[in-house]
A and B are shown apart, each in its own frame.
Chain A
Amino acid sequence: MSAIRASHDGTHGAETAALSDIQTPDVMSAPEILSPDAIADLQAGGISLTETAEIALSSLTANKLRTLLTALGVIIGVAAVVALLAIGRGSQDSITASITANGANLLTVRPGASNAGGIGGGVGSAQTLTLDDAKALADPQNVPDASAVSPEFNGNGQLVAGSFNTNARITGAEAVYMSVHNLHLAQGDFITDDQVNSMANVAVLGANVAQTLFPDGDAVGQSLRVNGQSFRVAGVLASQGGGGFGSMDDGIVVPITSAQRRLFGGRALQGGAALVSTVVVQAKDQNSVNDALAEITQTLRDRHELPSNGAADDFSVINQQDILNSVVQTTQTLTLFLGAIAAISLIVGGIGIMNIMLVSVRERTREIGLRKAIGARESDILTQFLIEALIISLLGALIGLALGVGIALIVNASGQMKASPSFGAAALAVGFAVAVGLFFGIAPARNAARLDPIEALRYD
């Protein structure tokens, strides 16, 4: 309908023919639009989660060293958590084992008021437990639920044998000590009741003491000097191993009478009465522990003539289970503390993930722009980067787990400490690592998803 009108666009040099009049909107027809269904159809389709994961995986494998370095923080964090929790659990196990090795049905009677937690008189400050008290407790009339009663006197002393010497814990005990504490002999005999009655100068050495004083091995029958007095070695105890709580490896056992009168006479005798440090009472079985406790308390209160109301006990009876509980609680606290420190390194690892991913998003700006231009939705890009964070943290967690278990096994093999990796701790560490990775992946992923494709495609 329009005539030819040659024209030349001087500014741009574009040769054009037939420059037509520019249409104004009011003369143009309204645009034809499809039914609204066409818009709804756009919702359908799109990339699947598997394919997004494949894209994430391929971008991680494209730069393996960087991926590994990114995961390193998580690797170290998880390894630390797993190894420290394993060591914590291991030491708790070994302490528990050494306590229960003595039997869980033991009651330890100590002189001095029991005033748990408070200052009170202080346990052991009043020397009110004597050998006669122990004899009274051993009387089935008084404590029918006791199967054995072991009075003990503890001290420290200098041991000398030939050119060797050492310092050791010295326990004065009776023959029953061995069965009550579940000890075993490596050589010779334990002290006998006769030797106790006759105040004999005989000693049974702990494994380490025997090794130190008689490195040649043949200790039984040899003599040694204990605090200057001559003693004969009657036997050597089997090693209990470990650095366990209450281990006898670094001590010696002598007849309690010899300890009281020959070695520690100054503090062991009070007005003719022979004092004891502790009396260990073995209840008949686990169920009679509480009955035995009541009987012991009653017997001692009677003997010490404490009025039935008002006056506090001038002794304390400690249940083995109580000791166990408090030790377990202590080691658990320690383990948690160690785990918390290790968890901090996991969070640092998460920040590492965020850091590298932020750089990576910047580096891949053009790629992200292109993906958006050819049809990636914001959510597709977000998912892609979150999956990358997830893979990195999961990979790090699994490598860290293997490393942590490896450390625990090495610690075990060293024999210095016990480490027992647990499934719970491993699951906790891995779960925490993945959560940390995802959390710190959110910010970079959002950055990537929100990139303006126009800007991103222009980015150099």
Chain B
Amino acid sequence: MDAIIQVRDLCKTYHMGEIEVPALRGISFDIRRGEFVAIMGPSGSGKSTLMNLLGCLDTPDSGQYVLDGLPVEQIDPNLLAAVRNRKIGFVFQQFNLLPRQTALENVALPLIYLGGVPTEERYARAQDVLELVGLGTRLDHHPKELSGGQQQRVAIARALITKPSLLLADEPTGNLDSHSSEDIMTLFQDLNSQGITVVLVTHEADIAGHAQRILTVRDGVLASDAASVQRIARLSALNGSAPLTHDTHAANGLHATNGVHAGEPVRRARPSIIQRPSLTHKRRLL
């Protein structure tokens, strides 16, 4: 299965007393395994609601959400905790590290809730992931002893430790200076190049520009679905080829049915670094 996220006609309305506030009014898209997608939209557009639904923190009123083959809307809310644990790695704007625990303990935390992982293995895996994000020398530091960028790296390591299908980042650079932001985005790109699917929610255009594809939400519906110009420029520079055409339908693994735009089918060029990676560990969870 190529699509890691399949969203169909997702609707969510909030009830504030008597008033009904529609946050999502039927949104549909696919995200393929290994994609790097930014979700943008002004505040009140429904992008936070969309992120909460994608993160299985909330359930839709109607519509379908299939995450890595699991029909989320059919799953008992109590079991959604397990879905979050195994399928999703969260990265928050506020980092949300436990202040009294070391980087290593923070990163190992999700494995406790996964269950069945012995303590030594938990810490060994946490160390591996911390090394992956470039914090191999800060294992025993507490969050307050780390810079904002380093704290976010710890949070990313924590998100990665259960080898989730999806890395879901909510304004991950919102609390960082521009230099650290750039570092973190580079890290996301590196991770993505290793085959990890990244979904990023942001309102900053240049942050979203690091993604391959940008979904723009407005008034609870999808306003646009497009490849990022920055990204295309970067990829084409890498490839040494002309700017690419990004066909969303093709990227989604679907065949467009509308015939308005006739023309040659465009091969979606992929640089070698984002070739389909080995995903054996994710398969194991299925």
- State the A residues within 8 Å of B (CB): 1-5, 7, 9, 11-25, 27-34, 38-39, 42-43, 45-48, 51, 55, 58, 62, 366-367, 369-380, 453-454, 457
Contact = CB atoms under 8 A, between A and B. Distances in A.
Contact of B6 (A14, A31, A457): A31
Interface string B16-43: 0000000000101110000000001110
A113 B254 CA distance: 109
Interface string B68-93: 11110011001101111110001010
A1 B255 contact: yes
A412 to B, nearest CB: 44
Given A17-B229, A51-B112, A375 B257 contact: no
Interface residues of B, number: 83
B185 interface: no
A3 B28 contact: no
Contact of B230 (A15, A19, A23, A32): A15
B240 interface: no
B81 A20 contact: no
A17 B234 CA distance: 13
A454 B12 CA distance: 15
Given A17-B232, A25-B26, A375-B114, 12 more contacts: A1-B250, A11-B218, A15-B209, A19-B226, A22-B224, A39-B74, A42-B75, A45-B115, A369-B96, A372-B81, A375-B84, A378-B81
Interface stretch (B174-182, B258-266, B271-279): B258-266
Given A19-B226, A25-B28, A39-B79, A12 B216 contact: yes
A31 B66 contact: yes
B257 A9 contact: no
Contacts of B115: 45-48
Nearest to A367: B98
Interface stretch (B51-59, B131-139, B188-196): B51-59
B82 A378 contact: no
Nearest to A21: B258
A109 B1 CA distance: 102
Interface in B206-235: 208-209, 214, 216, 218, 221-230, 232
Nearest to B243: A17
B226 A28 contact: no
Contacts of B246: 17-18
A5 B66 CA distance: 30
A14 B247 contact: no
B143 to A, nearest CB: 12
Contacts of B86: 42, 375
A456 to B, nearest CB: 10
A15 B224 contact: no
Interface of B: 1, 3, 6, 8-9, 26, 28-30, 40-42, 52, 55, 57-58, 64, 66, 68-71, 74-75, 78-79, 81-86, 90, 92, 94, 96, 98, 100, 109-110, 112-116, 158, 162, 203, 205, 208-209, 214, 216, 218, 221-230, 232, 243, 245-250, 254-258, 260-263, 265, 286
B124 to A, nearest CB: 17
Contacts of B258: 21, 27
B247 to A, nearest CB: 6
Nearest to A8: B229
Given A1-B256, A373-B55, A373-B84, A16 B263 contact: no
A23 B252 CA distance: 11
A16 B66 contact: no
A38 B286 contact: yes
Contacts of A46: 82, 113-115
Contact of A23 (B28, B92, B223, B261): B28
Nearest to B116: A45
B177 to A, nearest CB: 20
| Most B Cβ at <10 Å: residue of A29, A51, A380 | A29
A14 B69 contact: no
B108 to A, nearest CB: 11
A21 B82 CA distance: 35
Contact of A379 (B78, B90, B110, B257): B78
Nearest 8 interchain pairs by C-beta: A375-B85, A34-B69, A31-B6, A375-B113, A16-B226, A45-B115, A15-B229, A31-B66
B70 to A, nearest CB: 6
A373 B90 contact: yes
A47 B265 CA distance: 50
Contacts of B203: 12
